[in-house]
Amino acid sequence: MALPLGMSSCAMCIDLMTATTWVSVSDNMSVVNPPTQTRPTGEAYVFGEDTAVIGVGKRQPVDVTVRGVWAEGTADPFYSVYAEFTSPCGDMVAVRWGPGGCTTTNDVFYTSTTKSEVISLTFPGGDASSADIIMYEFVVRTPDITRATWS
């Protein structure tokens, strides 16, 4: 048997959509935390058996956490996210990432293009004793994540 072709996130790419078009932000983003979608379960027990009766519910919403390198200037994606987050009642920021890179035949995963809400935004800040790069972070909540393929 052959070993699977393991991949690192070295070539990963990321796009954002705040209006109707996707824009590459790979030059600004650093991390997409792998989101987990769960399906709730219920259980009950009966006297005649030693194992549980299992029921399953509907898939729960997904939180996608994205971290970026902050830069001054309105061209930085932080300000697009900030504008959507601070608009009354919130507005949409859809996230799309390709673990293997945005090249033909590679897979890409994206949050809903109609309902992807920024539910938290960590502003850029720093520590005088640190040389760390100033970062920011936001979390997008979406009902589902869809798979597509670069073509």
Tell me the C-alpha distance between 137 and 68, whole Å: 6
Which one, of 100, 105, 99, 97, lies nearest residue 150 by Cα? 105
Considering only residues 127 through 146, tell me which ones interact with other proteins, judged by CB under 8 A.
146
E strand or H helix that includes residue 32: strand 29-33
Please pick, from the candidates 21, 36, 74, 114, the single residue that binds other proteins as defined by CB under 8 A. 21
Closer to other proteins by CB, 41 or 103: give it: 103
Q: Is 136 exposed, middle or buried (0-12, 13-18, 19+ CB in 10 A)?
A: buried
**How near is the Cβ of 29 to other proteins at its closest, in Å?**
15
Closer to other proteins by CB, 13 or 136: give it: 13
Q: Which residues sit at the interface with other proteins, rule CB under 8 A?
A: 15, 21-24, 96, 102-105, 108, 110, 113, 146-151
